[in-house]
């Protein structure tokens, strides 16, 4: 399923490759899904780890900081799963969840250090330094849309509705929130892309909440619980695979930092599709049916 889904994504982006960094903006997600699905198909667990490392390096060299960090985190999680199995250590979904959070934080700070020391290129280094200087944080500096999201939700916690076009007051509120992060919001990106015809705050959670209100937020949280619970259960049983682990981390990142109506919706769809069958597969494994 993952291989077919990834192949479809790849075929859909090839005719319209981004001229500006095609790996980062077009190829990264479909190629990653295809390679990790292929490794899963041939049951090459070591191959999955190698693929994660190679994909992380390619992403780092193509100025895709978030993708490199997600792939590195998935590599660390699966390496810990193998080490735990070798040491015959028992675990639970809760312990796995705590381990994932700790590994994710460790990866974030290590990657930030690499970026600031210039290992990912001078361009990424200079941009990251400027973002930290402006907002005090690499995440807030790289995603000033967070300021707009918080300002709009403070003004209207119930959301604004599907199909609603932001008016002048909404745009002014959003710009004020972004300017609190020392971001100059008077530009075409904010006025045309973010609020030209709809609310687009570069966050699945923000997009769904602003457009669909509390029900949109509830829907996203339910999907996240489904994906994370089943992914953690797989890892606790020693059955975590590179593709499902990568997708679980990806959908969490997308929930906070990616637009919904692009690749985020596709990543969420394939993650739910691959992980929702965990109870059935767990019964099959107990009965001796090979994965």
The structure's pTM equals: 0.85
Do the Cβ atoms of 67 and 111 come closer than 8 Å? no
Q: Are 37 and 2 in contact (CB under 8 A)?
A: yes
Q: How many CB atoms lie within 10 A of CB 139?
A: 15
Helix 242-257 vs helix 214-236: crossing angle, to nearest 10: 150
The sign of the dihedral angle between the CA atoms of 23, 27, 28, 34 is negative
CB atoms under 10 Å from CB of 92, counted, come to: 12
Q: Beta-carbon neighbour count of residue 26 at 10 Å?
A: 21
Tell me the chain's radius of gyration from C-alpha atoms: 20
* Closest to 123 in 3D by CA, of 252, 51, 24, 26: 24
The DSSP secondary structure of 54-73, one letter per residue, reads HHHHHHHHTT-HHHHHHHHH
Look at phi and psi of residue 202 and say left if phi exceeds 0, alpha if psi is from -120 to 50, else beta: left
Where b means 16+ CB within 10 Å and e means fewer, 99-116 reads bbeebbeebeeebbebbe
Using DSSP's 3-state secondary structure scheme, residue 79 falls into helix
User: How far separated are the first and last CA of the chain, in Å rounded?
Assistant: 14
* Each residue's pLDDT expressed in tens, for the chain with a length of 291 residues: 899 999 999 999 888 887 788 998 889 999 999 999 999 999 989 999 999 999 999 998 888 888 998 999 999 999 988 888 787 777 777 777 787 788 777 877 777 777 777 766 677 777 777 767 766 666 666 788 999 999 999 999 999 998 899 999 999 999 999 998 888 899 989 999 999 889 999 999 999 999 999 999 999 999 999 998 888 888 888 888 999 999 999 999 999 988 887 678 888 888 888 887 644 444 444 444 444
Tell me how far apart the alpha carbons of residues 158 and 65 are, in angstroms, rounded to a whole number: 33
């Amino acid at each position: 399923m993952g291989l077919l889904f990834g192949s479809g994504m790849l075929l859909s982006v090839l005719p319209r490759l981004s001229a500006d960094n095609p790996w980062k903006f077009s190829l990264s997600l479909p190629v990653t899904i295809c390679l990790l699905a292929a490794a899963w198909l041939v049951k090459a667990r070591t191959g999955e780890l190698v693929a994660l490392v190679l994909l992380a390096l390619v992403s780092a060299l193509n100025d895709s900081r978030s993708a490199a960090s997600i792939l590195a985190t998935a590599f660390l999680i699966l390496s810990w799963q193998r080490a735990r199995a070798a040491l015959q250590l028992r675990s639970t979904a809760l312990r796995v969840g705590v381990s994932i959070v700790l590994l994710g934080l460790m990866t974030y700070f290590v990657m930030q250090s690499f970026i600031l020391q210039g290992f990912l290129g001078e361009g990424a280094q200079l941009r990251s330094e400027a973002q930290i200087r402006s907002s005090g944080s690499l995440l807030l500096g790289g995603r000033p849309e967070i300021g707009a999201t918080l300002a709009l939700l403070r003004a209207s916690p119930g959301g604004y509705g599907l199909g609603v076009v932001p008016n002048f007051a909404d745009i002014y509120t959003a710009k004020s929130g972004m300017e609190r992060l020392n971001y100059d919001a008077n530009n075409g990106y904010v006025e045309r892309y973010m609020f030209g015809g709809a609310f687009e705050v570069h966050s699945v959670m923000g997009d769904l909440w602003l457009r669909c209100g509390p029900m949109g937020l509830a829907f996203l949280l339910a999907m996240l619980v489904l994906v994370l619970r089943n992914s953690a259960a797989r890892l606790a049983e020693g059955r975590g695979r590179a593709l499902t682990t990568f997708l679980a981390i990806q959908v969490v990142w997308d929930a906070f930092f990616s637009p919904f109506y692009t690749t985020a919706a596709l990543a969420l769809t394939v993650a739910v599709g691959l992980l929702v069958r965990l109870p059935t597969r767990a019964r099959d494994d107990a009965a001796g049916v090979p994965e």
